[in-house]
């Protein structure tokens, strides 16, 4: 696949992995992207996961058409992108390797490889000429690892964005970009909103016509859409107006109350209402929806004087990924000593800029007239 007259895509699709990074379900696989720039000199942009080295090297050979690579640019050292470096250097031992200082240290840690004799340490705004093509390097620490660099090709106006603007899913899967990019962002990059904002400011002066990420499709149209979403996500602003209700239920009574609330919200014309059972649905999808909407309701049972484990796990994930700037409603169920709302509130107070609804819902085993009134009041407040 040609990105431009000078840039060829040489990545691979992975349909073997079922859990990316050991935790994110990827039913449509993953793409490990790599590119080669062909000019007077040639530069390979990153490698792929070790299990796909042979396929990737074959793709590279085909693109090179008998030439040899002059440079390997290592933008990110996670093994899904650096896993084939040693195989590459066995085949092309004379290639110079350009990367950040931290990346060279990681090469030793991961692969016991000391390539200082062929290494080129690059820093922010450093350039590398390939002939008519000039590459400008952009440091992007903690987007989402400390060694990350990104690269701008001023000739073709292409921005090689490492893991930024990536998504779950192999390139041969037909699926919406935003859904899996959002889940990818908040699961993997989301904690580092400040660093993403810094990156967006750095690249704002570049004239970009194409974004080439290390996962997901090449982005070459309506770039304002993708940049705008990244700006919204990294500011922890809500992307959409609506209410996300996340719940756990042991015997169905809490679920019953949640469905009553959802119906009431819809009857009042609430823009969007989404409901998820934390015990049954993909937790990363639930985290995605919590960040997507501007209001959230958490409903759970009291359990061992605390809250149900799936809810505790969910709130922990929200906190770990920088959850903030949301309005939160709380619902608790407890047969003799309900404490779940207090426990949820204590965890959420550690997040930034959380406002709690004045109306809380307390269910004593099952919904009664008192809790129905509380549900109505909470619906009024949320809408």
pTM over 0.85: yes
Please give the pLDDT value at position 143: 97
Domain 243-382 in the same topology as domain 7-234: no
DSSP assignment of 85-142: HHHHHHH-TT-EEEE-HHHHHHHHHHH----TTTEEE--TT-EEE-SS-EEEEEE-TT
pLDDT in the model for residue 116: 78
Angle at 237 between CA 311 and CA 326, to 5 degrees: 40
Cβ contact 299:245 at 8 Å: yes
Low-confidence ranges of the chain (pLDDT < 70): none
Q: In terms of C-beta density within 10 A (0-12 exposed, 13-18 middle, 19 or more buried), how is residue 50 classed?
A: middle
Cα-based torsion angle of the residue sequence 21, 26, 28, 31 in order, rounded to the nearest 10 degrees: -20
Residue ranges per structural domain of the chain: 7-234, 243-382
Return the DSSP state at 29.
-
Contact in structure between 278 and 312 (CB atoms under 8 Å) = no
In the CATH hierarchy, which top-level class contains the domain 243-382?
alpha beta
pLDDT at 10: 98
H helix and E strand count, the chain: 12, 22
pLDDT of residue 271: 82
Domain 7-234 belongs to what topology? Answer: Metallo-beta-lactamase; Chain A (3.60.15)
């Amino acid at each position: 696949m040609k990105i431009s007259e000078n840039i060829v895509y040489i990545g691979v699709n992975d349909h073997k992995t079922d859990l990316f990074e050991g935790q994110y379900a990827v039913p449509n696989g993953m793409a490990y992207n790599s590119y080669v720039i062909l000019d007077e000199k040639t530069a390979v942009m990153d490698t792929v996961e070790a299990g796909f080295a042979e396929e990737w090297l074959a793709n590279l050979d085909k693109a090179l058409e008998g030439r040899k690579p002059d440079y390997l640019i290592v933008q990110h050292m996670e093994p899904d992108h650096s896993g084939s470096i040693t195989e590459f250097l066995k085949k092309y031992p004379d290639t110079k390797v350009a990367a950040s200082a931290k990346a060279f240290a990681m090469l030793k840690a991961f692969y016991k490889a000391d390539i200082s004799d062929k290494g080129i340490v690059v820093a922010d705004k450093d350039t590398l000429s390939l002939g008519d093509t000039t590459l400008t390097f952009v440091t992007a620490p903690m987007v989402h690892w400390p060694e990350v660099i990104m690269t701008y090709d001023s000739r073709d106006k292409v921005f090689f964005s490492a893991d930024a603007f990536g998504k779950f899913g192999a390139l041969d899967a037909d699926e919406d970009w935003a859904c899996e990019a959002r889940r990818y962002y908040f699961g993997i990059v989301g904690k580092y909103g400040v660093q993403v904002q810094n990156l967006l400011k750095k690249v704002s002066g570049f004239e970009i016509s194409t974004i080439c990420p290390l996962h997901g499709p090449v982005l070459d149209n309506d770039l304002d859409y993708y940049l705008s979403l990244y700006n919204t996500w990294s500011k922890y602003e809500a992307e959409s107006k609506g209410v996300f209700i996340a719940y756990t239920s042991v015997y169905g009574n809490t679920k019953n109350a949640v469905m009553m609330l959802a119906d009431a919200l819809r009857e009042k014309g609430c823009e969007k209402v989404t409901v998820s059972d934390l015990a049954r649905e993909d937790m990363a999808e639930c985290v995605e929806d919590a960040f997507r909407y501007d209001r959230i309701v958490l409903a759970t049972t009291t359990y061992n004087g605390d809250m149900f484990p799936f809810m505790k796990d969910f709130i922990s994930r929200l906190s770990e990924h920088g959850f903030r700037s949301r309005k939160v409603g709380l619902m608790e169920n407890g047969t003799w000593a309900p404490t779940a709302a207090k426990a949820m509130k204590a965890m959420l107070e550690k997040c930034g800029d959380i406002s709690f609804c004045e109306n809380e819902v307390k269910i004593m085993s099952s919904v009664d007239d008192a809790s129905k009134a509380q549900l109505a009041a909470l619906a009024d407040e949320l809408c």
